[in-house]
Each structure stands twice: as C-alpha cells, then as structure tokens.
Amino acid sequence: MTMLAIAPGTVAWSVLAAGATAWLAVLALSPRAHLGPTRVVRWILRSWFSRFGCLVAWWAVGWHVFCQRP
C-alpha cells in the first residue's frame, strides 16, 4: 500500500491556512463587533508612521519574492 508522505511543516502550514480561512468565514458571517481585516488595514493606514512602516514591509516582501526567490 502506497502512502503519500506529507512533511510535518506542510501539515502545520495547512492548519494555519485552515485556521485563517475559518476565522475569515466567522468574520464574514458575524456582526461587525469583531475586528475584521478591513478594519485592521484601515487602522494601519490612519497615520503616516504606520503607513510608511507598512510600505517598507511591502517593499521588503517584494524584494525577497522577486529578487531573491527563484
């Protein structure tokens, strides 16, 4: 019997992805009392400091993905 070998790291990432999906589903179905992703992003973009920090993080991610990854 052939078994597919799944790396433990992949399992952990799958659990995190499932958790994030479930949380987003809860946010979509629940009233606005919960802190959704839209409110988190709007909160970050309210001031210059946090907006600039977000932009630096965005650029660093881009540099890593497009200039360091294959």
Partner 1 sequence: MPKALQLRPEPVRGYDARREGSTGRWWGRRDSNPHWRRFKRPASADWATPPETGLRCGEVIISGLITRLLPSARYAEVVAHPFTRLRAPDDLRPRRERRRSSAATAFLSVGAIALSTWEGGLTRDSQGAHAGVELVGLAAVVAMVVLGWGRQRESTRTWAGATIHHVRPGRSKASVISLLVWGLLIGGVIGWDLLSFIVQSPSFPTLSSLVGHVSHHPIGRGVLFAVWLAMGAYVTVGGRLTSRR
- Residue labelled with tokens 């070998």: 5
* Residues 30 and 37: beta-carbon distance below 8 Å: no
Site for partner 1 in 34-53 (CB under 8 A): 34-35, 40-43, 45-52
Closest CA to 6 of 15, 31, 39, 51: 15
- Residue in 1, 2, 4, 9 binding partner 1, rule: CB under 8 A: 9
* Residues 32 and 38: beta-carbon distance below 8 Å: no
Q: Is 25 in the site for partner 1 (CB under 8 A)?
A: no
Residues at the interface with partner 1 (CB under 8 A): 7-10, 12-13, 16, 19-20, 23, 33-35, 40-43, 45-52, 54-55, 58-59, 61-70
